[in-house]
Amino acid sequence: MLKRRFAAVLVGVMALTLVLPMAATAQDDSKTFYWISHGDPADPVWTFFLDGANQWAEDTGNKVNTSFHSNDVPTHQEAVRAAIAAGADGIVTSSPDPGSLIEVVAEANAAGIPIININTPDPTANFDAYVGTNNVEVGRRWAQYLVDNGHVAEGGFVWMPVEVPGATYGVQEEEGIASVFEPLGITWEVTEAGLDQAEIITLMSDYLLANRDKIDAMIGLGDLVTGSVQRVWDQVGVEAGEIPVVGWGNSPDTTQEILDGYVLAGMWQDPQMTSYLGLSLAAAAESGIPPGFDILVGALYEADTAAIYHAIMTGGE
């Protein structure tokens, strides 16, 4: 019995002596990447983008420093510069405003640090690659969906609330929407909703009460506004389906709205996969395999498939 115990201890010690150097080596070989978002940490969709970054770190053993900047351009720029100064192995970042990151991207290029653009494309900056939706095309598809399905026609009016007017995503989406609506004489108005959920509901409710008679349809230019439709409609006294609505569909609130008939269709942005692939491209570039392509994501879904996306975001609940 003593010999068996001694043998077991000896095997355990030998195994430990093998594992510890391997663990140390793996730790020594880990790299540090920076994931920088223009979004607000209270925005539900950005929790899914963050999940993708955290999952990538767990799967690869690399470190990922993350930060949110709530569309504050100066702090976003400073975060990129801090990553460069820290000698980051790679940077993955969204774009807060068109052209706002041109200089800091050039600084990353000069430092030889891969920098990948996710979520909101900005072709004016020299990113190594882009992972995300083509927001101009997203806007075009929303507008075309409303026209093709007879929800809005020549002379119609479409309300388009957005969290932050002038931000990259809304500007690009409106460009795509205009390409469909302008030739048909359809008009629209973009209104500010903010980033605070209570404020969004208040501002959207006030606008709806004041303009209900002229609104033929609504396009939610951001996830927070689209995910607030049911609460706003119920507060104002608008029935589900009374006003045709399309928009982003990256939150359980919106998938439920689609299932319940408040929203007709939502655009899925593959948020977890977007972050995961963005970091993978940065790691590949750091290893000497530069990406020579962009990765475009996105699927417009209706009630028949909304449960699939709802399950992805709620863990099957």
Question: Do 262 and 280 fall into the same domain?
Answer: no
What percent of the chain is predicted at pLDDT more than 90?
Answer: 84
- Asked whether the predicted pLDDT for residue 22 surpasses 90, the reply is no
- The gap from C-alpha 182 to its chain's centroid, in whole angstroms, comes to 28
Spatial contact of 302 and 141, defined as CB atoms under 8 Å apart: no
Is residue 300 domain-resident?
no
Question: Do 252 and 278 fall into the same domain?
Answer: no
CATH of the domain at 51: 3.40.50.2300
Sequence-distant (6+) residues with CB within 8 A of 205 are 232, 235, 236
Which residue would you say has higher pLDDT here, 5 or 264? 264
In the prediction, which pLDDT does 27 show? Answer: 47
In the prediction, which pLDDT does 156 show? Answer: 98
In the prediction, which pLDDT does 294 show? Answer: 97
Roughly how many angstroms between the first and final C-alpha of the chain, as a whole number?
52
In the prediction, which pLDDT does 28 show? Answer: 56
Question: Do 197 and 255 fall into the same domain?
Answer: yes
Q: Mean of the pLDDT values across residues 170-185?
A: 97
Question: Do 123 and 199 fall into the same domain?
Answer: no
How do residues 38-55 score in pLDDT, each as one tens digit? 998 988 889 999 999 999
- Classified as helix, coil or strand, 144 is helix
Question: Do 86 and 165 fall into the same domain?
Answer: no
Is residue 14 domain-resident?
no
Tell me the C-alpha distance between 97 and 165, whole Å.
10
Q: Mean of the pLDDT values across residues 108-133?
A: 96
Is residue 307 domain-resident?
no
Q: Mean of the pLDDT values across residues 274-303?
A: 97
pLDDT band at 23 (very low <50, low <70, confident <90, very high): very low
Question: Do 278 and 254 fall into the same domain?
Answer: no
> What burial letters (b/e) apply to 84-107, b meaning 16+ CB within 10 Å?
beeebbbbbbbbbbbebbeebbeb
How do residues 61-93 score in pLDDT, each as one tens digit? 999 999 999 999 999 999 999 999 999 999 999
Closest by CA to 296, choosing from 31, 117, 85, is 117
E strands, the chain, are 32-37, 63-68, 90-93, 115-118, 129-132, 157-162, 187-192, 217-220, 245-248, 265-268, 295-296, 299-301
pLDDT band at 29 (very low <50, low <70, confident <90, very high): confident
In the prediction, which pLDDT does 168 show? Answer: 85
What percent of the chain is predicted at pLDDT more than 70?
Answer: 91
Question: Do 161 and 100 fall into the same domain?
Answer: no
Question: Do 139 and 244 fall into the same domain?
Answer: yes
Question: Do 128 and 49 fall into the same domain?
Answer: yes
Edge-to-edge strand ranges of the sheet holding 217-220 = 187-192, 157-162, 217-220, 245-248, 265-268, 299-301
Question: Do 157 and 264 fall into the same domain?
Answer: yes
Place of tokens 């409303």: 146
How do residues 264-286 score in pLDDT, each as one tens digit? 999 999 999 999 999 999 999 99
Q: Which of 21-30, 105-114, 266-275 has the lowest mean pLDDT?
A: 21-30
Number of H helices, E strands in the chain: 12, 12
Spatial contact of 95 and 122, defined as CB atoms under 8 Å apart: yes
Query: Residue 118 sits in which domain range?
Result: 31-133+270-286
In the prediction, which pLDDT does 317 show? Answer: 58
In the prediction, which pLDDT does 44 show? Answer: 82
Tell me the C-alpha distance between 75 and 255, whole Å.
33
Question: Do 194 and 276 fall into the same domain?
Answer: no
Say how many domains are in the chain. Answer: 2
Q: Model pTM?
A: 0.81
Tell me the C-alpha distance between 65 and 93, whole Å.
12
> What burial letters (b/e) apply to 28-39, b meaning 16+ CB within 10 Å?
eeebebbbbbbb
Question: Do 144 and 224 fall into the same domain?
Answer: yes
